[in-house]
Amino acid sequence: MELRMQVKAESARSLERPGKMYVKGNYLFVNEIKEGIHIIDNSNPSSPKFVSFIKIPGNGDIAVRDNILFADSFSDLVALDITDPVNAKETGRVRNVFKNGVFDGGGWSLNETIGSINDSNVEFVTEEITTNCEDGVSPGWWWGGGVFALADLASFSSSSPAASPNSAGSNGQAGSMARFALHQNFLYTVSQSSLQLFNISNPREPKDFKTINMGWGIETIFPYQNKLFIGSSTGMFIYDNSNPAEPVKLSSFQHGRACDPVVVHDDIAYVTLRTGTACVGSQNQLDLVDVSNPSAPQLIKSYQMQNPHGLSIDFPNLYLCEGEHGLKVFDVKDKFAVNDHQLAHFKDMDAYDVISLGKTLLLIGKDGFYQYDATNPKDLKLLSKIPVGKEI
């Protein structure tokens, strides 16, 4: 089929409609909505360099294990060898596995020349498109995909020499809107109603393993230790993942209808809820939830926010995106007085999602991709910005 033949490495190009960001060693991966992946050499965060562009029709999300990149391409899951990022090669493909959609919408299909596809609608950098719970997002994130997996961050520094994308260890790291996650020999993807497992014991040739029905409104997935924390439009689900081949539901934490990414540190889950989406939520808040007993999560306290989106924790610092209201930084050591310990509020960007790498902070917004020196969270220093439309 013609679309399947179009997955290939191309010369570097500028950002036009940036989507999700992903970090692996000295490399950044930035999705170009529905078109593919920019690979950027970030050996020097003050001067990132475009390396190549991997054309992947219908792409919204990726995950990277060693030198293998997993990506959605409309209804297919594709594996590519990126040992040489200038010459990425497809090594495997699982066809027609996203039939009901990691994404929603209509358009091209890989099953037919024209037909329905389950790609998510989004808000692009320059236009708005109606979607499900993530329809109000900026700067153009799909309602699916992404990854949040632990990375070896030691190699991510301005002093490190350029290296192949597998130099950071096993897995990479992405933002809090993740719908893909890597754990041991499995790649997990969440659609609106299910958790799908792919066996990647041979990463070059992923295999469809099983599907677990979860109900409707599933949005994000965050693996932490031996648990999976699933964000939905009505609450947070916790799954025991001690046996990675058999995730078992332990509990759910319910809230009013709203869109909610979740991140976890120790025994506390940090959940944001916001209005302005098709989730028809009425709350703009940050919830802290005690998950010390994962079978019975308990609300610690809710904090009113302006319009919270993505978030990242580098304890005790919590970085929280407030959309058009910018980025806020909190010291969360005192879980009962978070609002009393706001360290900073940066208002010079439209912040959608953020990744903390300790001394470095990555942020994506409507007009591009930012990197900050976060040595002092109260006074972030801009290292670099890749603006939309910049010639390379």
pLDDT tens by residue, 69-107: 999 999 899 999 999 999 999 999 999 998 754 443 222
Q: Mean pLDDT across the chain, nearest whole number?
A: 81
Residue 68's H or E segment, with its range, is: strand 68-73
Residue 185, Cβ density class (10 Å: 0-12 exposed, 13-18 middle, ≥19 buried): middle
* 169 in any annotated domain: yes
Asked if residues 317 and 354 have their Cβ atoms less than 8 Å apart, the reply is: no
Q: What pLDDT score was predicted for residue 15?
A: 92
Is the CA virtual torsion 242, 246, 250, 255 positive or negative? positive
User: pLDDT exceeding 90 applies to what percent of the chain?
Assistant: 57
Q: For 351, list phi and psi in degrees, rounded to 5.
A: -95, 120
pLDDT value at residue 318? 98
Average pLDDT over residues 115-119: 35
pLDDT at position 379 over 50: yes
Containing structural domain, residue 170 = 1-224
Exposure letters 80-113 (e unless 16+ CB within 10 A, then b): bbbeebeebebbbbbeebbeebbbbbeebbbeee
What is the predicted pLDDT for the residue at 255? 66
Q: Is residue 107 part of a domain?
A: yes
Q: Is 389 among the domain residues? A: no
Q: For the chain, report the end-to-end CA distance as a whole number of angstroms.
A: 32
What is the C-alpha to C-alpha distance for residues 179 and 203, in angstroms, rounded to an integer?
19
3-state secondary structure of 276: coil
376 within some domain: no
Distance CA 142, CA 16 (A): 15
Question: What is the helix, strand, coil percentage profile of the chain, to 5?
Answer: 5, 45, 50
Q: Judge whether 208 and 198 are in contact, CB under 8 Å.
A: yes
CA distance 59 to 357: 25
User: What sign has the CA pseudo-torsion 266, 268, 272, 278?
Assistant: positive
Does residue 41 lie within any of the structural domains?
A: yes
Distance CA 275, CA 253 (A): 19
In the block, which residue shows the tokens 């219908």? Answer: 58
Give the range among 114-128, 186-200, 229-243, 301-315 with minimum mean pLDDT: 114-128
DSSP result, 7-35: -EEE-----SSEEEEEEETTEEEEEETTT
Helix (H, G, I), strand (E, B) or coil at 333: coil
Q: Is the pLDDT of residue 124 over 50?
A: no
What token pair was written down for 155?
A: 């190699």
- Model confidence band, residue 257 (pLDDT cutoffs 50, 70, 90): low
Is residue 357 included in any domain, yes or no? no
Do the domain assignments include residue 309? no
- Comparing 189-193, 209-213, 335-339, which segment has the lowest mean pLDDT? 189-193
Name which residue leads in pLDDT, 192 or 87: 87
Site of tokens 């010390």:
292
Calpha distance 120→98 (Å, rounded): 11
Chain center to CA of 75: 19
- pLDDT band at residue 168 using 50, 70 and 90 as cut-offs: very low
In a domain, 302, yes or no: no
Total domains present in the chain? 1
